[in-house]
Structure 1
Amino acid sequence: MATYEYRCPRDGDFEVRLPLGEAGAAVDCPGCHARATRVWSAPRLARTPRALGAALDGAARSAETPEVVSRIPARRPAAAMPAHPAHARLPRL
């Protein structure tokens, strides 16, 4: 089975798994059933997790147009100290 990418004009990109060589130039979108055209891309030898892909896309977008910060972010609360007595001798940051 191979993964093919298609682009719907309404819903955007989606993937379809089909036997190798059986992908058509267009398929129906699973969301709106409109005709979606095939997008030619590099083969994916290793799948990127969705969260990592979103983080990489966000980093690429911010390289061109960085997000503007209007105030200093709130401080995170300090982590609770562990209960084990030997941990009390560890250096503090």
Structure 2
Amino acid sequence: MLVFTGQFTVYLVRERRRMWSSLPSLPLLLSSVGAITFTCLISILGILVTPLPPPIVLGVLGLSFGFNIIFDQIKLVTLRLSRGGGTSVS
């Protein structure tokens, strides 16, 4: 979970608009995919950790992404309020 949320947080803080408003650089995207893939593999295969069933690992990945979507909304509202622009979010 720490790796997944850490990767998603990078995308959350790199953009003042929605996190998907601009494409990340290729090195950033490749390193994120690599880190997430590596973490999934060592978690499922049980390398240096107790192995976890694939549905659990994918569920944690999905939950981490879902919470990041929520935090993206909170970020937008907070930025608008800090600029005195009301609570309308697009």
TM over 0.5: no
Higher relative contact order, structure no. (Cα contacts within 8 Å, ≥ 6 residues apart):
2
- Which structure is higher in helix share? 2
Indicate the structure (1 or 2) with the bigger Cα radius of gyration.
1
Q: TM-score interval w.r.t. the shorter chain? A: under 0.3
